[in-house]
Amino acid sequence: MKKLALLFVVLFSLSISAQTTYIHCGQVFDSASGKIKKELTLIIEGNKIDQVVKGYAQPVQGATVIDLKSKTVYPGFIDMHVHIESESNPSKYLDKYRLNEADIAFDAAVFARRTLMAGFTTVRDLGGTGVNIALRNAIESGKLKGPRVFTAGKTLSSTGGHGDPTNGNKAVIQGDPGPKEGVVNSPADARKAVRQRYKNGADWIKITATGGVLSVAKSGENPQFTAAEIMAITSTAKDYGMQVAAHAHGDEGMFRAVQNGVKTIEHGTLISKRTMQLMKDKNAYLVPTISAGKFVAEKAKIPGYFPPVIVPKAIKIGAQIQQTFANAYAMGVPIAFGTDSGVSYHGDNAKEFGFMVEVGMPAHEAIQAATIVNAKVLERENELGQIAPGFFADIVASEANALNDIHTLENITFVMKNGEVVKQ
């Protein structure tokens, strides 16, 4: 009987150690302090970090050992603004008439994998056709490799506004889309649209508080929601356990958004000191998306890349976003990391770090923005954004120390998500 019990203990121990991974790390970025810690062992049990031990701990029998002694290790990065369903190309404005949902889904799977391989283990998707919700579910169930996705489903717009899905259509097929399609023209519409997003399975709500660069419409700046409509959106979202992100380039639209409960401002190009102060007072975050600004300003110089109505907007707005970020950071506006990948290329997300550092943000703060800060904005600060016991085992590594060379993050050589190695 004693031998049988001993055998059971041995088999039980082996089953536990089979799920155990030891990662020997030469350097680890501690996102809580913003500092590098040297020679640590991360002990992973299943999909969580169980222990962080000083030195290179001797593994238990049967455990997997990963040698990252020559690397610098970070928590998996979080991008707070992507569009995982699509990617910029000269035919994009024809794609909505050409591509079926199945085509979009296959593209999205490619973009999701590319994002994960770049070291971004979590993303917030801020608008697509609804395929983004199915993609999130497929990744969660293990059918696809990709980042953990928090998604807004379909963006909320006003009629003719940035995000109206019928902009640019000929009159006979424009129709009159409403809340189900994400088009809002009253507080009642706003409440119904939020509830529809909840019904569809969205995690966040995204609104277009102003005109946009890439919509087939004249203005990229004008306010496109009333204060009453925004309040109806944010209050309803709160009832359903969701927060609201607002695309905004013009100042009046973003001021209304922050004043009425929006949590994050995307882009923020023409932000005033008045609105920056309000963001500080309300603890609202700016998601700069410098990558997208630079990308559209560059592509606007290529004849035919964008429809003619977009070109002057891209040249005016795109070129200003990096300086906007610099001004907001200097004033102390809370900053969350986001790229708008999909406007720029998926997999190039880490270029944003360099753009942030280039105009004054220290490297450690840029990395914190993409880890501990974004986890807080997502209300997952006890699960994501840190290498610490109890957190998801989302771990990435680069060859060099990013505090000395931020561009090393553009070449991530190791990725673990949920305790599973997906790139080594």
Straight-line distance from the first to the last Cα atom of the chain, in angstroms, rounded to the nearest whole number: 45
For the ranges 164-168, 392-396, 403-407, the lowest mean pLDDT is seen at: 164-168
What is the per-residue pLDDT for 303? 93
Residue range 17-28: mean pLDDT, rounded: 88
Indicate whether 18 pLDDT > 80: no
What is the per-residue pLDDT for 94? 81
Closest CA to 370 of 115, 131, 134: 115
pLDDT band at 177 (very low <50, low <70, confident <90, very high): confident
Q: Answer whether 2-74+387-423 and 77-377 agree in fold.
A: no
What is the per-residue pLDDT for 174? 79
| Residues 189-242 pLDDT 10s | 999 999 999 999 999 999 999 988 887 777 778 999 999 999 999 999 999 999
| DSSP bridge pairs for 287 | 266
Instruction: Say how far apart CA 406 and CA 366 lie, in whole Å.
Output: 9
Indicate whether 384 pLDDT > 80: yes
- For residues 112 and 84, the answer to whether their CB atoms sit within 8 Å is yes
Mean pLDDT of the chain: 93
Indicate whether 17 pLDDT > 50: no
Closest CA to 392 of 46, 3, 33: 46
Give this prediction's pTM. 0.93
The domain spans of the chain are 2-74+387-423, 77-377
Backbone angles phi, psi at 294, to 5 degrees: -65, -40
Q: How many CB atoms lie within 10 A of CB 349?
A: 29
pLDDT band at 12 (very low <50, low <70, confident <90, very high): very low
- For residues 309 and 217, the answer to whether their CB atoms sit within 8 Å is yes
Per CATH, the number for 77-377 is 3.20.20.140
Which two structure tokens, joined as six digits, stand for 159?
A: 């009629």
For the ranges 126-130, 159-163, 378-382, the lowest mean pLDDT is seen at: 159-163
Indicate whether 422 pLDDT > 70: yes
Indicate whether 103 pLDDT > 50: yes
What is the per-residue pLDDT for 247? 97
Backbone angles phi, psi at 13, to 5 degrees: -60, -40
| Residues 319-363 pLDDT 10s | 899 999 999 999 999 999 999 999 999 999 999 999 999 999 999
pLDDT band at 4 (very low <50, low <70, confident <90, very high): very low
Per CATH, the number for 2-74+387-423 is 2.30.40.10
For the ranges 115-129, 166-180, 328-342, the lowest mean pLDDT is seen at: 166-180
Residues 6+ apart with CB under 8 A from 416: 23, 44, 76, 393, 394, 395, 396, 422
| Residues 289-315 pLDDT 10s | 999 999 999 999 999 998 899 899 888
What is the per-residue pLDDT for 9? 42
What is the per-residue pLDDT for 245? 98
